[in-house]
Amino acid sequence: MATSEHNLSNYDPAGVPSGAGLKFALVVSEWNHDVTDALRAGAKQTLLDHGVAPADIVEAWVPGSFELAGGAQFLLEKGGLDGVICLGSVVRGETPHFDFVCQGATQGIMNVGLKFSLPVIFGLLTDDTLQQAKDRSGGKHGNKGVDCAVAVLKMAALKGK
């Protein structure tokens, strides 16, 4: 569904499983920091709102969105996590760099989740403009970080069944 038709922060809290006793990591890109920090804040608050203890949320920053998958893999290799949320923002420029970063990050994040058989959530904004990214990281379209936290809680519950 298009973001313009769906606020990323709207969800039914009753339909979200508790995260009590679970441990999650947030892997966040330093690039477009204002956007990614807003995504991180939204995801973290949502996890806390659903019972995840502050000590059970690991935060790791990576240089850019291309490094999200590697960061997730490094943390999962240490063990003890129930899932990872990868948060980044790539804004289209004048070169094909956008396409290469988006494709590599997408494939990498999916591969890490499959490799570890754990939820590794894709929270990469791929926008044409910086304003679109801001609109999806706490602006008029809500916060994709919230959406990702709900997804990791639901997928961790599914994994635990």
97 counts as catalytic: yes
Give me the sign of the Cα torsion angle 85, 17, 135, 110: positive
Catalytic position from the list 6, 50, 97, 141 = 97
The answer to whether 98 touches 92, Cβ cutoff 8 Å, is yes
Q: Cα separation of 14 and 23, whole Å?
A: 21
Nearest in space to 68 (alpha carbons), one of 116, 114, 101, 105? 105
Q: Is 94 helix (H, G, I), strand (E, B) or coil?
A: coil
Q: Residue 131: CB partners within 8 Å, gap ≥ 6?
A: none
User: Looking at the annotation, which residues are catalytic?
Assistant: 97
